[in-house]
Structure 1
């Protein structure tokens, strides 16, 4: 079975530049994908829905998530998501009102506090509000990897969800939160429970990989295979909770994915051009791996150490290329 890749993307200018490189002619000839691409787009407002044709051109299926977890801490998305919820009254009303544009709504869990158990009952209520409007619904079930395991109350709520969802239509995603420094291993017991409970559904593992917080090893493909999942996904070397933009950092870390080792090499420096010179000296560096690697080489040669947008595009593009072309 060829496992699908689901990159979690925000509709920003850098992300749009990257996803465009996987649309159109990239589906054909020697650039044909070895792995299907099903983007998860985290939208902040109705305006983001206008860009969906761009993602649909690149992916065979596009999930739409209004990520309510961003209302519970200050991130780059908080203001937009909060305003959209206030305008529509709830995310279910947002989905219903724009059902002509949204083909596959995705219901994500709330994360009320860093250590609070996830409340899965909200999935049941939102599902019931949407099931008459959408033939297919996705559920993004957050798993706290720092917790000892699902409680009896959580398991009961999940069993109730399994009674109303549709195995042949609905999709279940097991999203590992707090996976830094290998803590995602503790989530496997919960993944096993969820895989058994939702046997017969399309399922997938998200975020067994967090290179921004020390978990540089990508274990998602292995976990997806171990639990017979249909897909895996992650933030494509970005942050779950991106902070609001501040001033220019005093130093940076250049993160570059090694497809064969499924690991991220980290190169620090005062700017990206300085860090990039160490990357060029790395024995595993391959300038001709993809267009994004050639872009990295060009940025280093031009000394574009502070062109943060183009460096982000190159980093994400190289990673997604590695995955969808079967290198990861």
Structure 2
């Protein structure tokens, strides 16, 4: 695959802009991403795990910054399989297309739970753990879940569901994660067109809305990032494992997708349960963070706050900004303070 744009024989497509004068739409001039055929049954779990470099399997997948607990990729994958088997054993009627409501702060258990449910074809619907009773009632009305996964502190307002609520900080759930003697989880044929997740809007323009995203949506986004970086030579397996600090919550679309993408690259995720700016700077110094996904207000703080001078943040190489457009002046201020850090607008 070369770096040059494909040649478009269609004279209606402008070779510089990609504008099609017939359809009045723009077409990408980048090389096509080699994605699996849409007719091939494939879950986002299987696709993502297939991309992890073999050299990363012994590396750390995730770190809980509150407890400094490390989870390797090999154990992470084993926990996904163990949990999938346990869920099918405990809830044999839990089927493809059922919706699971997830209400939990970021922890090492949440990505395992996401990937496990997605491998079974269960639709993941993560909600803000600070949601009120009224908001959760609205979430339930929108998504019609049959089961919920929550922590002891976030389960209070969940209504009665068909399969009840599983507490992911309970001894039972921990045993479900680590029952490595389980048989292989049952194979569930998941179509790429099946809904993978229902992610909620912030509610700034009215009541919260649920947005359905398919397995193909995540496969295409992940594949696009993966093969673009491969083409640019950014996936050198000989490099030491990259470390990303996660500031966005995993229930948010930005955090959800970045989690999938980071795991596909075999990088290390450092998770924060609760965000605070100085705490973030401490973690950058402690874990020698390479990259951080952030929102524009956080870019402003990084560019202007005097707290930055108290910590060694020289390990930072990339800041990915998403959630809203980044203003030109803010970007310039950041670049002046961090000339060696690449800032990317994630869309």
Same fold (TM over 0.5): no
Question: TM-score, normalising length from structure 2?
Answer: 0.25
Higher Cα radius of gyration:
2
Q: Which has the higher helix share?
A: 1
